[in-house]
A and B are shown apart, each in its own frame.
Chain A
Amino acid sequence: MSEGGDKDNGKRQDRLRLVISSSPHVRKGTSVERIMYAVVLCLIPALAASVYCFGYKVLAIVGVSVGAALLTEFLAKRLRKKPFEMDGSAVITGLILGLMMPPGLEWGQLWLPAVGAFFAIAIVKEAFGGLGSNIWNPAAGGFLFCLLSWAAMMGVGWIADGGIVWEMMRTEATPLVDLEKGEVSMEVVKNLFLGNVNGALGETSALALLIGGLALIGLRYIDWRIPLSFIGTVGVLTFAQTGDPILTLAYLFAGGLFLGAFFMLTDYVTSPLTGWGRVLFGVGAGAVVVVIRLFANPMEGVAYSIIFMNMFTPLIDRYLKTEPFGRIKKEAEG
């Protein structure tokens, strides 16, 4: 088929080109870059909420993370003798990783997001073959490496100075610590939803994350099945275990649940291809989150659940393969 009507291909139009390609033949302007930068734009509300809550240091933390991600990507591509492209995937990884950092990082600890971004890009992504071949969501991998290596730094120092949260915070614990004690009111839930709480940079405001996530679903860049089944499973299981609707709401709006649901679980590379596969994927991740939050030692389980289900993705894809249209099933022999 000839590649004629494409506006971008003005230079190629003057010569006839015959391209033999497999279906689908329908063309659309959507490209990797466009989707990636749309995701970046949809993370802006969360970033803005974070700056509003914690002050301008947030920009430095996220900036270091994004810069380190881009630099690592550039160096890794050089090492692999592959062209470096600004396809935006490294920007997203850096941005999400930055948003998972604690706000209380000192200026001297800004190497922490940089090391996390390096691990995410160099080990989780490029070592396995770059974009499209990573085994986990890179940001989740980088975050877990930081968490497991420098647990003290990632956990304490949650209280930031400058933003509005600083004025309000009197407890030193993160909301999930309070939740484990089982003392919540609607006021806490409201704060969790709007963002007047302590926590990692991007997790403060469930509302801001929800805006970005719904925009991505509206643009059809991500599948609604994954966030819905993920958040739904967490809600149902938490309610079944605690029996308290307010506490359940608080658990839903707390921590990185929305960030993971909309921006990390939906990563194309590491999520299943079929609709039911995605539902299964979301349900499995939700179950892991609830088990870790309510029964296990770590406070938050979103990153673990993402990595855990990422590794099940090939299996899910294999067993929930769709039948090709029109294929006749072989009769059982004998």
Chain B
Amino acid sequence: MPILADLKNAIIYSNPVFVLLLGLCPTLAVTTSLENALGMGMCVIFVLVLSNVTISAIKNFIPHQVRIPVYIVIIATYVTVVNLAMEAYLPDLYDQLGLYLELIVVNCIILGRAEAFASRNSVSSSFVDGIGVGIGWTLAALLVSFIRGVMGNGSIIIWGDIGIRGILETPATAIGLPYGGFLTVGVLLAAFAYIGNRKKQKSECKGVERW
């Protein structure tokens, strides 16, 4: 299944947060709760897939010199759609995400995938890449906000009442605060790099290239 393999590659081996180190700003900012991370992830997937597909479809008509402004206009269009739709139908989440929703326009994941992938590949593989990278970001943000929720608040709560409370009696409030976001992402990056290096060494021993 080449599509599934592409998807897996996009989610794991070009994970925007832990491998490409893109889109760290929203990762740090919106991971204060699971639902914020999930909502933001949905928006990122939506914008990423549509902008990838659009850019890939019209890539032969975009003059090389002005490609970045063209990408921005396309991305901004979809962000505006998301923005207005969310303000109308999910006002609570809209208030929570606030500025970061509009900042998806300049989110380096989306521009980065447009430049590095969509402008060089077919529409179908750009679509898969958009879904994969978007899911990769969402999973990473969910992981970060899960850790921050457990360690910083001692509870995991989604939509107000569903969840587990009192996991930790005296949670480390620092983890829930902004610098805790930096700490969590940093430690996770180190952990992923450690696992990645070990896998690399193992596969080098066997003479098999995995990455």
Interface, chain A (partner B; CB < 8 A) = 79, 115, 123, 127, 145, 148-151, 153
Contact = CB atoms under 8 A, between A and B. Distances in A.
Given A123-B187, A149-B175, 6 more contacts: A115-B172, A148-B173, A148-B177, A150-B173, A151-B173, A153-B170
A149 B183 contact: no
Contacts of A148: 173-174, 177, 179
Nearest to B194: A79
B19 interface: no
B84 interface: no
B173 A149 contact: yes
B172 A149 contact: yes
B70 interface: no
A156 to B, nearest CB: 13
A110 to B, nearest CB: 13
Interface in B174-204: 174-175, 177, 179, 183, 186-187, 190, 194
6 contacts: A123-B183, A148-B177, A149-B172, A150-B170, A150-B172, A150-B173
Nearest to A109: B170
A322 to B, nearest CB: 34
Contacts of B187: 123, 127
**Chain B interface residue bracket vs A:** 10 to 19
B174 A127 contact: no
Nearest to A152: B170
Chain A CB within 10 Å — which of B174, B186, B190 has the most? B174
Contacts of A151: 173
A145 B190 contact: no
Main secondary structure of the interface of A (DSSP, over half): helix
A127 B183 CA distance: 11
A127 B170 contact: no
Contacts of A115: 172
A145 B174 contact: yes
A149 B187 CA distance: 17
B190 A149 contact: no
Interface string B107-138: 00000000000000000000000000000000
Contacts of B172: 115, 145, 149-150
A151 B177 CA distance: 13
A304 to B, nearest CB: 12
Contacts of A123: 183, 187
Contacts of B171: 149
Contacts of A145: 172, 174
A107 B187 CA distance: 30
A151 B186 CA distance: 23
Contacts of A150: 170, 172-173
B39 to A, nearest CB: 27
A171 B186 CA distance: 42
Nearest to B179: A148
Interface string B153-176: 000000000000000001111110
Nearest to A147: B174
A148 B174 CA distance: 5
A150 B173 CA distance: 7
B191 to A, nearest CB: 10
Contacts of B194: 79
Contacts of A127: 186-187, 190
A149 B186 CA distance: 18
Contacts of B175: 149
Contacts of B173: 148-151
B190 to A, nearest CB: 6
A115 B187 CA distance: 16
